[in-house]
């Protein structure tokens, strides 16, 4: 049962839903908590999750991943962290600080000459070789973890999570692929064991601690499930109260780390099952847990004690409350496309979502009812038009939506036709499902005119007509002799095509080329 009360050490949790760490990029260059963080986490707490494990907090600038990452490396940050814990507690959830040092996976532009790891093995993502840590570096870093843990306690966090997996520093010591040392720190478990013992001594034996581990690294010479079992046993013996099981490595298997939708499902659940059979402490299973039916199946199977949910709570912060009240069909599911979340964070725009445009914004906290309900006309039945219509309806307006085609979804209906992108259909189908459940009046096959607008006499008109492919016209190119990146998906007569040239090697161009080549046609990208 998903509503069963569970415990992690001395900490009681009201249900099985735990929010897994998701990077937001909402911070300052100095590592401060911002009002945007507080809005974001408070909203997830309001949605019914039992505990929120925050995004990674860096324990020292040498282990920083993002310019706008939250820090826990300095006492001056404690008041800001305290405001975050207060906001989450106010909404009835517990909150856990996740502390980490990225090691060779740190951003070299931020770490500068301080980029360091067990050995000088470069991270393939950026190719920069770190400095092999000295004995003093190692001892100092372990102290920094303990200092960060002490600050988490002072800032009012209910639990602490330490990163031992995903290709970060502790994992780099654990893996023979990245630990090439010849001294006493060459022993795979030594760093992790010393780290957890030092932290325990600093914050006491009763404060709840979870450890995040990779069940399998999914890379050449990477750690295996048997390695993970060995690590799990050691962590339990040294006072860890729960294990948070994921897969992958930030450096060597990023798609597995980020759980991209093109990968096989259930890999993380299998890893959690293996660890669950190895230890007696609770196990948190995280990785693409956004489908209500699969969540219920996981909860009933007892493959894990807690259901870790990250990006699905970005897409729908109310997922726990909806499921706890039996409204599974109302959940807006995450498609794991990584476009709104990961790409925006990496571009330093902050966390966003393709199906939840409110995420991180001021109005995400509460969508207020309109003071003066209006008649609203929305032109365009693509994702922007549908979301605008649903939002207007939710605020109490009367809404008419016009679409000139005989179907809804606009260009979003093409998103899942490209190779390996079938996961996008989840987002498309859920958007249409929620529109069907609404009171929005939908008019298909209705190309809008001024006369039609005047006939409806709306108070407001929202234009959401979509984009058109950019065409670079040149001599000899006739409109009947080329396709664009959209209409190739509706083309049927492939048997008469011998060779295709794709002009443009961006995302749409490469996807188009893959699709055409899949029809057994010689394809050239320029």
What residues contact 470, with CB distance under 8 A and at least 6 apart? none
- Give the span between the Cα atoms of 26 and 198, in whole angstroms: 31
Positive/negative CA dihedral, 289, 290, 293, 295:
positive
- Give the span between the Cα atoms of 52 and 94, in whole angstroms: 6
The two structure tokens encoding residue 465: 């007509």
Angle between helices 225-237 and 190-203 (to 10 degrees): 30
* Number of Cβ atoms within 10 Å of the Cβ of 80: 19
Cα angle for residues 169, 173, 178 (degrees, 5° grid): 90
- Give the span between the Cα atoms of 281 and 289, in whole angstroms: 21
Ordered DSSP codes for 152-189: HHHTT-SEEEEE--TTSHHHHHH-TTT----SGGGSTT
Q: Which helix (H) or strand (E) holds 39?
A: helix 35-46
Question: E strands, 32-176, where?
Answer: 51-58, 94-100, 116-117, 131-132, 159-163
Tokens 């950026």 sit on residue: 126
Tokens 């489908």 sit on residue: 291
* Number of Cβ atoms within 10 Å of the Cβ of 453: 15
| Torsional class of 356: left (φ above 0), alpha (ψ -120 to 50), beta (otherwise) | beta
Q: What is the CATH number of domain 375-463?
A: 3.40.50.720
Tokens 């339990």 sit on residue: 236
The two structure tokens encoding residue 385: 């038009």
Give the distance from CA 107 to its chain's centroid.
19
- Give the span between the Cα atoms of 13 and 30, in whole angstroms: 33
pLDDT by 10s per residue, the chain, length 526: 899 999 999 999 999 999 999 999 999 999 999 999 999 999 999 999 999 999 999 999 999 999 999 999 999 999 999 999 999 999 999 999 999 999 999 999 987 778 999 999 999 999 999 999 999 999 999 999 999 999 999 999 999 999 999 999 999 999 999 999 999 999 999 999 999 999 999 999 999 999 999 999 999 999 999 999 999 999 999 999 999 999 999 999 999 999 988 888 899 999 999 999 999 999 999 999 999 999 999 999 888 999 999 999 999 999 999 999 999 999 999 999 998 999 999 999 999 998 888 898 887 766 789 999 999 999 999 999 999 999 999 999 999 999 999 999 998 888 899 888 888 899 899 999 999 999 999 999 999 999 989 999 999 999 999 888 777 777 777 766 788 888 888 888 888 899 999 988 988 899 999 999 999 999 999 9
Output the pLDDT for position 466. Answer: 86
Output the pLDDT for position 206. Answer: 97
Check residue 369 and report its DSSP letter: P
**Cβ neighbourhood burial of 270 (10 Å; 0-12, 13-18, 19+):** middle
Give catalytic residues, as residue numbers. 168
| pTM score, whole prediction | 0.92
Output the pLDDT for position 204. Answer: 97
- Give the span between the Cα atoms of 223 and 246, in whole angstroms: 13
When the candidates are 3.10.180.10, 3.20.20.70, 3.40.50.700, 3.40.50.12280, the CATH number that belongs to 6-363 is 3.20.20.70
Domain positions in the chain are 6-363, 375-463, 480-525
Q: Which of 402, 440, 421 is nearest to 508 (CA)?
A: 421
Q: Which of 96, 128, 125 is nearest to 115 (CA)?
A: 128
Angle between helices 267-276 and 225-237 (to 10 degrees): 50
Task: Tell me if residue 406 falls in helix, strand or coil.
Answer: coil
Contacts for 134-139 with beta carbons within 8 Å, 24 or more apart? 135/183, 135/185, 138/185, 138/191
* C-beta of residue 221 within 8 angstroms of C-beta of residue 141: no
Output the pLDDT for position 428. Answer: 92
């Amino acid at each position: 049962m998903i509503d069963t009360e569970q415990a992690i050490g001395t900490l009681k949790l009201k249900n099985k839903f735990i929010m897994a760490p998701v990077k937001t990029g909402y911070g300052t260059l100095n590592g401060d908590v911002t009002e945007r963080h507080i809005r974001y986490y408070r909203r997830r707490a309001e949605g019914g999750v039992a505990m929120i494990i925050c995004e990674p907090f860096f324990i020292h600038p040498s282990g920083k991943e993002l310019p706008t990452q939250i820090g826990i490396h300095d006492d001056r940050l404690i008041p800001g962290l305290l405001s975050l814990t207060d906001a989450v507690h106010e909404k009835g959830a517990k909150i856990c600080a996740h502390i980490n040092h990225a090691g060779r996976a740190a951003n070299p532009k931020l770490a500068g000459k301080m980029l360091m790891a067990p050995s000088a093995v470069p991270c393939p993502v950026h190719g920069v070789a770190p400095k092999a840590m000295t004995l003093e570096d190692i001892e100092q870093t372990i102290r920094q973890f303990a200092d960060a843990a002490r600050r988490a306690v002072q800032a009012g966090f209910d639990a602490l999570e330490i990163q031992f997996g995903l290709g970060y520093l502790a994992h780099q010591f654990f893996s023979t692929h990245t630990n090439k040392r010849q001294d006493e720190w060459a022993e795979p478990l030594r760093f992790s064991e010393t780290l957890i013992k030092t932290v325990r001594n600093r914050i006491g034996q009763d404060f709840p601690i979870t450890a995040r581990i990779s069940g399998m690294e999914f890379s050449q010479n990477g750690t295996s499930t048997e390695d993970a079992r060995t690590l799990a046993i050691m962590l339990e013996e040294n006072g860890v109260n729960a294990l948070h099981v994921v897969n992958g490595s930030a450096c060597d298997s990023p798609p597995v780390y980020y759980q991209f939708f093109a990968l096989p499902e259930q890999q993380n659940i299998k890893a959690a099952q293996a660890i669950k059979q190895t230890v007696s402490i609770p196990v948190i299973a995280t990785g693409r847990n956004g489908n209500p039916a699969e969540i219920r199946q996981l909860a009933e199977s007892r493959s894990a004690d807690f259901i870790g949910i990250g990006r699905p709570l970005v897409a729908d912060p109310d997922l726990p409350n909806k499921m706890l009240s039996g409204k599974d069909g109302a959940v807006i599911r995450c498609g794991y496309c990584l476009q709104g979340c990961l790409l925006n964070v990496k571009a330093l725009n902050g966390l966003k979502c393709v199906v939840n445009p409110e995420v991180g914004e001021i109005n995400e906290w509460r969508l207020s009812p309109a003071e003066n309900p209006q008649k609203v006309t929305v032109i365009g039945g693509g994702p922007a038009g549908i979301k605008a219509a649903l939002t207007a309806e939710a605020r109490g307006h009367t809404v008419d939506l016009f679409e000139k085609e005989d179907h809804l979804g606009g260009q979003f209906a093409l998103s899942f036709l490209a190779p390996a992108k079938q996961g996008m259909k989840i987002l498309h189908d859920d958007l249409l499902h929620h529109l069907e459940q609404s009171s929005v009046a939908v008019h298909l096959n209705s190309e809008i005119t001024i006369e039609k607008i005047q006939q409806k006499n709306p108070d407001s008109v929202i234009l959401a007509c979509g984009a058109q492919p950019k065409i670079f016209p040149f001599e000899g190119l006739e409109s009947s002799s080329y396709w664009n990146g959209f209409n190739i998906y509706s083309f049927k007569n492939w048997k008469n095509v011998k060779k295709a040239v794709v002009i443009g090697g961006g995302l749409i161009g490469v996807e188009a080329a893959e699709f055409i080549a899949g029809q057994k046609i010689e394809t050239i990208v320029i």
